[in-house]
Amino acid sequence: AKHEGKATYHFFEPALDEAARRRRQMELDLRAAIKDGGFTLNFQPLYNLAERRLTGFEALIRWNHPVRGRINPAEFIPLAEETGLIIPIGEWVMREACRLASKWPSDVTVAVNVSAKQFAAGGIASTVMSALSSSGLPAHRLELEITESIFIADVETTLTTLHSLRNIGVRIALDDFGTGYSSLSYLRSFPFDKVKIDRSFIEDLGTSTSGHAMIRAITMLAEALGMETLAEGVEDVAQFEVLEREGCQNIQGYLFSRPVEADAVFGLLREGAGY
């Protein structure tokens, strides 16, 4: 048994070291990227079904790593949140998204993802206001996408911040709706402008009939509360048709367009809705 314990120790230890080493390296690389401008924003169109119109774009961060090439956010946002680097990264995203969107037509909005850590740190309202004033983007063209995890911290402070952002005209969307533990109760606590129905519900549409019922229930509830709905991750026409039939107002997904580089936004705007 003694032997086994020792063998186990020797077997796992180098692996742990390797994981920790990679993490540390990634943190150093993230710090360098913040300093040297190693990030870019991609934009994915949001469509309004009734208006048959492209109404805005969601800003999605990309990291151009000097060695590893393009790294998607799922790989580095969690580490950025753990290390606090999400604060400077989030400030950059806000400034850059507003700057680029200020060059778009005046009826096109930009949606920016805001991490719970940015809310907890307290500076989000001033970050937003300074990004708006330096870009000249009107507040009503900015939408913040938050997840219910922002309520885990301090509900009162969070609500105060949301209300103050709302008061200057910024729109607030609840992202990944339906994936958390108490999504419904958060709908009651704050008047969101929009609810983004998580992709997992859209995936279900092809395979189960209860998927339709979920979409119908969410859109009816949102409507009763005066909130818009948007379905994320719409990939095929069958999903699209169900969503339209069940009264979902807005759509986002590969069916219409993948996220594109900032320059390609103008091409998508010229094409119109493209369906």
Among 1, 15, 16, 74, binds ligand C2E (CB under 6 A): 74
The count of other CB atoms within 10 Å of the CB of residue 102 is 17
Least distance from ligand C2E to the Cβ atom of residue 124, Å:
11
* 12 makes contact with ligand C2E (CB under 6 A): no
Residue 83 exposed, middle or buried by CB count within 10 Å (0-12, 13-18, 19+): middle
The count of other CB atoms within 10 Å of the CB of residue 149 is 16
**Contact of 211 with 243, CB cutoff 8 Å:** no
Among 96, 145, 228, 246, binds Ca ion (CB under 5 A): 145
Residue 233 interacts with, from Ca ion, ligand C2E, none (CB under 5-8 Å by kind)? ligand C2E
Tokens of 246: 């069940």
Among 29, 143, 148, 175, binds Ca ion (CB under 5 A): 175
Among 29, 91, 143, 175, binds ligand C2E (CB under 6 A): 175
Among 46, 54, 60, 124, binds ligand C2E (CB under 6 A): 60
Site for Ca ion in 93-122 (CB under 5 A): 113
Among 109, 113, 158, 249, binds ligand C2E (CB under 6 A): 113
Piece of the chain touching ligand C2E by CB under 6 A; list 67-75, 102-110, 156-164, 206-214: 67-75
Residue 254 interacts with, from ligand C2E, Ca ion, none (CB under 5-8 Å by kind)? ligand C2E
Q: Hey, what amino acid is at 224?
A: A
* 233 makes contact with ligand C2E (CB under 6 A): yes
Q: Which is nearer to ligand C2E, 111 or 222 (CB)?
A: 111
Among 33, 46, 49, 61, binds ligand C2E (CB under 6 A): 61
Residue 61 interacts with, from Ca ion, ligand C2E, none (CB under 5-8 Å by kind)? ligand C2E
**Contact of 258 with 72, CB cutoff 8 Å:** no
Q: Give the binding site for ligand C2E (CB under 6 A).
A: 44, 59-61, 72-74, 77, 90, 93, 113, 115, 145, 175-176, 232-235, 252-254, 259
Residues binding Ca ion (CB under 5 A): 113, 145, 175-176, 232
